[in-house]
Structure 1
């Protein structure tokens, strides 16, 4: 794309420059010539009037000789650089400032009668009388409505063309200067616009080819730099996503392979009769256990994927958080009896009315309590409490189990993550529970924190908005 832009800029620049120069040196030159001719006709006509009133009037009054008139007209010729004819009423040339031989003085009525009936002819040789095409201006001298003669001023068109060419040359010089300025501007625009576009394009191609480590470096501070940083950020996020996908596939494959291997192995053994009839119930329980684990893993994956990509669809209502905690805790009665675990409910107030999605918050409590029971030893105590502070309800779930290593605290929210200490104890876990908890709390615009000490216990605390009291 950048190459196309640069070629287009060069092409348009060249086209406009050549077109301007061509038009200027053809149509422009002709228009300037016509303008100069028009101005020169007016100027020469005024000069003819001046000559008539100041010089030829003396001749017609017989106060000046033709010789004196010729001398005076020659002086005007030298000043104006135009050929001057004095013509009598019959059309015969009386004097010519460029030819003093009377034998060459012709009768214009006989040779070019149309001349004396016009004010000017702009391109003529007067039927070969003049050596070069010229501008001829004719001024009639009259007195008491009687024609006394004519003043004819002749200027070669070569002089006018030369003047027009001088003007065009000045414009051409300006055009060249403008071209240089435009060239410098083009180079500047190339550096400011096209070069960074090339750099951005290269970066995008690198990312498209999977090179997410490529960095777009632009030594500037403008919108292109911001765009480069944004694209680089996208590259780093794609790199993280690719890494996450690899880990995700590896974890899913591992977590599905283990129970499937157990299910297939024991099912095949029962079918083949390898396992005695009296022991089949034991292995059927294992198959059932692994099937439940797969069902839970699939359900959690679908739930987390739906929240991550479509956003959690929240059905906000007002409800008593203390009742939700009581109801959820009651579902773990069997698990607690097996490990002789006591769940303590520490409520600051009998009722804690919050605004949230009750079903999803119940899932949060379920996941946190499920974790607490798994990682608590026999005869342990788990404490669940609520406390109101500044229009927020703080909910805590605290166990006295194995704890989480400090280096793992920031990783527990990742999908499939399990600490080394939990791998032997959490046979049924999927590593998705805390990820779901985090997504649900974030969807509510609230926060969840964790504090843990090895062999002492772990406490999760999250907030919910209190319902407005009526």
Structure 2
């Protein structure tokens, strides 16, 4: 591999590829191990509470409260399994019959905001949305926006703001800033999230955006965090567009503030 010709170059590329594949395999194995651990907790809770109730013991004070714990953990388990299944099939879903299909992102965002409003009434939802169209199927984009919003609600203190322009969506929240090392791995599959848990939501966002040829990034702002989905090239001809879709740099700086 020390040869300074084409054969040496090929050898070095093969070794680099092997190392990357090995790294990905190790990451997947660690993810499976940690996801298994993450699934065990609600399963163990459901099992122990059910056995206690069967024996006439109410571990959370009374029957209704104890059953609520079981239901809450069953919901947690269902959400985790749903995320795993969706992550597994998302690439097939968003590439099947998706050629030339566009989605009205104004409609997607408005629907997601409507559904999200009940999550935490104390969080203000601010929207500045133009009618623009993104390449790809509606379901994939809906899930991607929902996952970013779910993440935003988890950390926001007082508000979440969504700005939609041509080829550009930004979702702000005034939660705590992210560590720099976390930003670097934010959307990578199989990466460990806050509290040592594997959050699959942002991995799904990454798959949707990459498959539809968009870029997703997260970064810190003056008063919190922003997630941005964008395409740095002119959109294909023939797609419907709303009016005044493209904002200036000053417009984005104002939105950022």
Instruction: Report the TM-score when normalising by structure 2.
Output: 0.81
Distance 1:274-1:318 versus aligned 2 partners, 3 A rule? same
Secondary structure class of the residue paired with 1:461: strand
Q: CA deviation at 1:384?
A: 0.5
1:264-343 alignment runs, 5 A limit:
264-275=47-58, 279-307=62-90, 312-314=94-96, 315=98, 316-337=100-121, 340-343=122-125
Can you list the C-alpha shifts for 1:257-309, whole angstroms capped at 9, x where unaligned?
1111111111111111121797122122221111121122112112222346x
What is the match of residue 14 of structure 1? none
**Structure-2 separation of matches of 1:311 and 1:277:** 42
User: Cα–Cα, structure 1 residues 241 and 334, in superposed 2: closer, same or farther, change >3 Å?
Assistant: same
Compute the RMSD of aligned alpha carbons. Answer: 2.5
Contact 2:159/2:174 (8 A) holds in 1 = yes
Question: What is the 5 A alignment of 1:15-414?
Answer: 218-275=1-58, 279-307=62-90, 312-314=94-96, 315=98, 316-337=100-121, 340-347=122-129, 349=130, 351-377=131-157, 380-388=158-166, 393-414=167-188
Q: Distance in 2 between matches of 1:356 and 1:307?
A: 12
Gaps of 5+ in 2: 242-257
Displacement of 1:239: 2.1
SS of residue in 1 equivalent to 2:214: coil
2: distance between equivalents of 1:224 and 1:307?
A: 38
**Structure number with bigger Rg:** 1
2:194 corresponding residue in structure 1: 419
The match for 2:246 is: none
| SS, match of residue 125 in structure 2 | strand
Cα shift readout 1:207-244 (whole Å, capped 9, x = no counterpart): xxxxxxxxxxx332344323322331232023203321
The 3-state SS of whatever aligns with 1:442 is helix
3-state DSSP of counterpart to 2:227: strand
**Whole-Å Cα distance in 1 between the matches of residues 9 and 180 of structure 2?**
37
Pick 1 or 2: higher relative contact order, CA cutoff 8 A, min separation 6. 2
TM-score by length of 1: 0.46
Query: Whole-Å Cα distance in 1 between the matches of residues 168 and 33 of structure 2?
Result: 37
The whole-number CA distance in structure 1 between the counterparts of 2:177 and 2:65 is 33
